[in-house]
Amino acid sequence: MDNATPAGLTFRDATDADVEELVVLIESAYRGDASRAGWTTEADILEGQRTDPQGVLEVLKAPDSRLLTVERDGAIVACCQLEHRGDHAYFGMFAVSPRAQGAGLGKAVIAEAERQAREAWGVTEMHMTVIVQREDLIAWYERRGYRRTGRMLPFPYGDERFGVPLRADLEFELLVKPLV
């Protein structure tokens, strides 16, 4: 689905040809020194990779899943995963280029993702998981209408596909937003 917005953004589903560029975007938003240019960095709690080409391809190929890609002037500047899970959609793999953070792009992406999930699947809620120690990020989602559930999920310690933890207390919290 292609959809140009007044802000000069184009939303579309990712293709296999986008995988390498998406990996670079996601890594730059969360890991290493490049991520410190934005506010979404996880570099203080995780080292190593955030994802890899196989992880991005798995999202692209999974049933009931799509990777919404956002372009500005022909370059990918943001992305997010949407997955249909019965009466709700899961929102994940959200990344905004560090150079584009803080100017409302993330708000536009999440609003479009919610709209598309409602329209495409008729879901009534959006779910996501966020590392509980990321209080600034959780607060940002709360300002967008997401609520903390207190339901915790374990961090995949020992699986370096998701990074190398720098602390032993990481876990995810489920956040939920009604879409009706």
Distance CA 128, CA 163 (A): 19
Cβ neighbors of 42 (< 8 A, separation 6 or more) are 30, 31, 35, 50, 131, 134, 163
Joined together, the tokens standing for residue 37 give 């240019």
Collapsed DSSP state (helix, strand, coil) of residue 102: coil
Distance CA 58, CA 51 (A): 11
Collapsed DSSP state (helix, strand, coil) of residue 76: strand
Is residue 17's pLDDT more than 50? yes
User: Which architecture does CATH list for 3-178?
Assistant: 3-Layer(aba) Sandwich (3.40)
CA distances to 24, 30, 66 from 27, rounded to whole Å, are 5, 5, 19
Residue 49: which pLDDT band, with cuts at 50, 70 and 90?
A: confident
pLDDT tens, position by position, 112-166: 999 999 999 999 999 999 999 999 999 999 999 999 999 999 999 998 888 889 9
Distance CA 12, CA 66 (A): 10
Distance CA 82, CA 34 (A): 26
Residue 41: which pLDDT band, with cuts at 50, 70 and 90?
A: confident
* DSSP conformational letter for 39: S
Residue 4: which pLDDT band, with cuts at 50, 70 and 90?
A: very low
Q: What percent of the chain has pLDDT over 90?
A: 74
How many CB atoms lie under 10 A from the CB of residue 53? 12
Segment holding 137, helix H or strand E: helix 135-143
pLDDT, residue 48, reads: 85
Is residue 2's pLDDT more than 60? no
pLDDT tens, position by position, 164-173: 899 999 999 9
Domain boundaries, the chain: 3-178
